[in-house]
Amino acid sequence: MLTVLVNLAIFVLLMLVLGKLARRGQSLSRQVLTGLVFGVAAGFAMQLFYSADTIARTLEWVNVVGGGYVRLLQMIVIPLVLVSILGAVARLHNATSLGKISVMTLGILLFTTAISALVGAFVTYAFGLSAADLVQGARELARAEHLEATVASVTNLSVPQLLVSFIPRNPFADMTGASPTSIIGVVIFAVFLGLAVLTLLKDEPELGKRVLGGIEALQALIMRLVRLVMKLTPFGVMALMTKVIAGSNLQDVLSLAGFLVASYLAIAIMFVIHGVLLTLAGVNAKRFFTKVWPVLAFAFTSRSSAATIPLNVQAQTQKLGVPESIANFSASFGATIGQNGCAGIYPAMLAVMIAPTMGINVLDPLWLATLTGVITLASFGVAGVGGGATFAALIVLPIMGMPVALAALLISIEPLIDMARTALNVNGSMTAGTISSKLLGQTDDAVFAADNDSDKTPVVA
């Protein structure tokens, strides 16, 4: 118990150092980087000097900070999405603009998901990875049984039925986050509310202006709440990183090193492809990545695309010059649709690993095209939380006639891979928003060109 108390005292000391940096006026991005470094150092130190039991008991308390911060972010996600989309639509001049924004944003998200599926397939083939080489332990067998029991409920819906399920039957239930597609339901509800405000402004201008004023007041209130939570980001990142590093088993990581390396290579390739697409659209890719890296750092440690929505929107509007309408659409849709890492790369890698054991030629163009199409369609509604990749696999593999048990064999290294996958998911949504804004001629080039690293108080417009 004494050792645990010493560990917690050191952790509190590191938090005090982070707090001192904030009081000195250090930018939020640098505070996040410092918290990331502190978390990695603390995690490695615990791995070196303490037993598994001591680490587990310490992490229970550390997770009060990390898990508590993620919960606070999840608390503000639904209100933020609702008021942001509602306000953005209500301030549009006409519904045509809404159609252009949504079609272009979704198109880019799905296009990059299709590319990521192909990247995952070819990298897996190049590494020669096969499901036959993986070993099942007691933990993996238990996980496989759970997945087999879950897959029936996941695959009950056809693709058309899945699309219909996005339409909210009870928007208040979606606001509770009751289902994996809750965010999409809230977005659709907010869009229709916004369109109603537009018609009200046209038919009854005075009443419409009063409603719009109320929406703006509600937005201002929610943004105040967002600012309060965002100030805690460095502490949350430090705690989350400590938990990931200290909680990893080195032996398990080494036994699945091939899959881990292949996953990170595929993810790195997709980051490069994002950069190429940005460049083709006339966006300075180097400046883009410099401005968004604090968002990627949080996505990496939190493993939650949905929880990263506030930072995502803030980066797009305040650093990249993307208007709030496009930023809110791309961040909200990107949390559940077209996730390049979880819904694209991961199920493609599993399918290619299983294919040889079933006598399937991985390089068959028809099979590859089918796999890519299925993954792209199945990317609708993948939950923007930890475990979204498994959810995607449970949809894709049965459609391709493959068993889902392989996903259970990778449970030991899932957190390490999921961190990078989530960062890629979030970068994909920011890339979609930035490219859409540029192609529609709505980017504020002065904001994008500004060296605005002094983000002491995050603001989500």
Structural domain boundaries in the chain: 2-449
Please tell me the distance from the alpha carbon of residue 429 to that of residue 427, in angstroms, as a whole number.
Answer: 5
Average pLDDT over residues 420-442: 94
Q: 194: part of which helix (H) or strand (E)?
A: helix 182-203
Average pLDDT over residues 408-416: 68
Can you say whether the dihedral through the CA atoms of 182, 146, 407, 366 is positive or negative?
A: negative
Which DSSP string corresponds to 376-442? HHHTTT--SSTTHHHHHHHHHHHHTT--STHHHHTGGGHHHHHHHHHHHHHHHHHHHHHHHHHHTT-
Please tell me the distance from the alpha carbon of residue 72 to that of residue 307, in angstroms, as a whole number.
Answer: 9
Please tell me the distance from the alpha carbon of residue 54 to that of residue 52, in angstroms, as a whole number.
Answer: 6
pLDDT of residue 387 exceeding 90, the answer is no
- pLDDT, residue 406, reads 64
Average pLDDT over residues 446-455: 74
What CATH fold (topology level) applies to the domain 2-449? Proton glutamate symport protein (1.10.3860)
What is the chain's percent helix, strand, coil content, to nearest 5? 80, 0, 20
Residue 360 backbone dihedrals phi, psi, to 5 degrees: -95, 135
Please tell me the distance from the alpha carbon of residue 176 to that of residue 172, in angstroms, as a whole number.
Answer: 7
Average pLDDT over residues 139-162: 52
Average pLDDT over residues 88-110: 80
Residue position matching structure tokens 């900070």: 65
- The secondary structure of the chain, three-state, reads CHHHHHHHHHHHHHHHHHHHHHHCCCCHHHHHHHHHHHHHHHHHHHHHHCCHHHHHHHHHHHHHHHHHHHHHHHHHHHHHHHHHHHHHHHCCCCHHHHHHHHHHHHHHHHHHHHHHHHHHHHHHHHHCCCHHHCCCCHHHHHHHHHHHHHHHHHCCCCHHHHHHHCCCCCHHHHCCCCCCCHHHHHHHHHHHHHHHHHHHHHHCHHHHHHHHHHHHHHHHHHHHHHHHHHCCHHHHHHHHHHHHHHCCCHHHHHHCHHHHHHHHHHHHHHHHHHHHHHHHCCCCHHHHHHHHHHHHHHHHHHCCCCCCHHHHHHHHHHCCCCCHHHHHHHHHHHCCCCCHHHHHHHHHHHHHHHHHHHCCCCCCHHHHHHHHHHHHHHCCCCCCCCCHHHHHHHHHHHHCCCCCCHHHHCHHHHHHHHHHHHHHHHHHHHHHHHHHHHHCCCCCHHHHHCCCCCCCCCCCC
Digit-coded pLDDT (tens) for 16-39: 998 888 888 777 777 888 888 898
Q: How many residues can be counted in the chain?
A: 461
Average pLDDT over residues 450-460: 52
pLDDT of residue 272 exceeding 90, the answer is yes
Contact 54, 3 (CB under 8 A): yes
More confident site: 95 or 219: 219
- pLDDT, residue 244, reads 79
Confidence grade of residue 294 (pLDDT, cut at 50, 70, 90): confident
Contact 130, 353 (CB under 8 A): yes
> What's the whole-number average pLDDT of the chain?
82
- pLDDT, residue 429, reads 94
Please tell me the distance from the alpha carbon of residue 159 to that of residue 210, in angstroms, as a whole number.
Answer: 41
Digit-coded pLDDT (tens) for 299-329: 887 777 877 888 898 899 999 999 988 998 8
Digit-coded pLDDT (tens) for 214-235: 988 998 898 888 888 888 888 9
Contact 125, 349 (CB under 8 A): no
Confidence grade of residue 117 (pLDDT, cut at 50, 70, 90): very high
Other CB atoms closer than 10 Å to residue 209's CB: what's the count?
12
Please tell me the distance from the alpha carbon of residue 388 to that of residue 379, in angstroms, as a whole number.
Answer: 10
- pLDDT, residue 178, reads 66
- pLDDT, residue 135, reads 47
Can you say whether the dihedral through the CA atoms of 385, 261, 144, 151 is positive or negative?
A: positive
- pLDDT, residue 162, reads 65
